[in-house]
Amino acid sequence: MLTIYSDTHRLQHGKAELIDGTLKPCFENPSRADMVLQEVRSRDLGPVIEPVAHGLAPVLRVHDAGYVEFLQTAWQRWTAMGRDYDALPKMWQIRRLRAAIPQHVEGQLCYYSMDCGTPLTAGTWPAITAAADVALTAVDQLAAGQRGVFALTRPPGHHAARDYCGGYCFFNNAAIAAQSLLDRGAKRVAVLDVDYHHGNGTQDIFYQRDDVLFLSIHGDPATEYPFFLGFADEHGEGAGLGYNYNFPLPAASSVALWFAALDTALGEIRRYAPDALVVSLGVDTFEGDPISRFSLASTDFLRLGEQIGGLGLPTAFCMEGGYAVEPIGLNAVNVLEGFSMRQ
């Protein structure tokens, strides 16, 4: 399987995130992608190529122009005030506050953020535009006839909605890839999110549309991040009604329960009969993940890949979460190898 990768991801290296009430080193850091790339190479998964620059137009197909402009200018505006630490918001536009966009960069940071776990840094803009190009180049390769392509995207994307960042995510790489597939002629695309956390951003972007089927298997938001979206009764709105499926599972659910949910999700994908599939590939469902509470073993990721491969669809895998850094490569590449075995 072909892998698309850019070293530029290293430029996104937040100093700290708020965990358990204290600032701690970011779980989402450059070593994650480095470990995955190392495993891709050591197991000879296939060629690794650089992304091709696609510009901002495909990003603006799924993200709000004001939000994109904010991301592009925020660091310069933040540091112009004499600051040199990561930009993090300190309040949110919560119930009964006015929804007007503030003029000051600090207010805009609050307005365009879902949480304070997504540090905006000097290297955020080049890193997120490179990650979008990684996803878009994977779509180019599918259009050129590849059956499965691995977009080694970092930072991840599935928590980023149309107009806000969150959960380490700024641009929604999987949504950008899905939209690009449609813009290249696909009539229907499915996005399957297997990360431990609900793909709230992807759901937000496609919630009112029937040309993208979104399915997410994740820890129940009643107890798990992102808490405010990802419940089983969210089926879509308007034209999108019936094209959104959430499979929230209690934290500490068994592996058997997880695969039963996958089986149902794959059945819905077959029924939808899409032209292509995008997988939001988070491996924080792993039993050793430090911030998640499912218990998939490394061998279960091979089985996951095989079952996705059984759909027989052109598939772009976009890297999402996974915070047990040592085995992240083993787990991610197991999915890709399992997929390849079914082609």
Residue 282 interacts with Zn ion (CB under 5 A): yes or no: yes
Nearer to Zn ion by Cβ, of 54 and 198: the residue is 198
Residue 155 interacts with Zn ion (CB under 5 A): yes or no: no
Q: How many residues does the chain have?
A: 343
Backbone angles phi, psi at 71, to 5 degrees: -60, -40
Residue 39 interacts with Zn ion (CB under 5 A): yes or no: no
Shortest Å distance, C-beta 224 to Zn ion: 9
Nearer to Zn ion by Cβ, of 328 and 333: the residue is 328
Mask for 181-200, x = binds Zn ion (CB under 5 A): --------------xxx---
Assess contact for 230 and 218: CB atoms under 8 A: yes
Query: Could you tell me which stretch among 12-20, 44-52, 144-152, 279-287 binds Zn ion (CB under 5 A)?
Result: 279-287
For residue 17, what are its two tokens? 């995130």
Nearer to Zn ion by Cβ, of 30 and 321: the residue is 321
Rounded Cα distance, 19 and 15, in Å: 13
Shortest Å distance, C-beta 321 to Zn ion: 3
Residue list 314-343, contact with Zn ion (CB under 5 A): 321
Catalytic residues, which ones? 159
Strand 17-19 with 22-24, pairing: antiparallel
Residue 294 interacts with Zn ion (CB under 5 A): yes or no: no
For residue 297, what are its two tokens? 């073993």
Shortest Å distance, C-beta 193 to Zn ion: 9
For residue 275, what are its two tokens? 């032209």
CA 146 to chain centroid, in Å, comes to: 22
Shortest Å distance, C-beta 333 to Zn ion: 18
Shortest Å distance, C-beta 195 to Zn ion: 4
Q: In the bound complex, which residue of the shown chain has the CB atom lying closest to Zn ion? A: 321
Residue list 195-234, contact with Zn ion (CB under 5 A): 195-197
CA 92 to chain centroid, in Å, comes to: 22
Query: Could you tell me which stretch among 67-75, 88-96, 262-270, 274-282 binds Zn ion (CB under 5 A)?
Result: 274-282
Nearer to Zn ion by Cβ, of 28 and 133: the residue is 28
Residue 284 interacts with Zn ion (CB under 5 A): yes or no: yes
Nearer to Zn ion by Cβ, of 316 and 324: the residue is 324
Nearer to Zn ion by Cβ, of 284 and 300: the residue is 284
Question: Residue 317 is inside which H or E element, if any?
Answer: strand 315-319
Rounded Cα distance, 53 and 170, in Å: 18
Rounded Cα distance, 3 and 138, in Å: 8
Closest residue by Cα to residue 194 from 286, 307, 281, 305: 281
Rounded Cα distance, 185 and 145, in Å: 14
Strand 315-319 with 148-151, pairing: parallel
Binding site for Zn ion (CB under 5 A): 195-197, 282, 284, 321
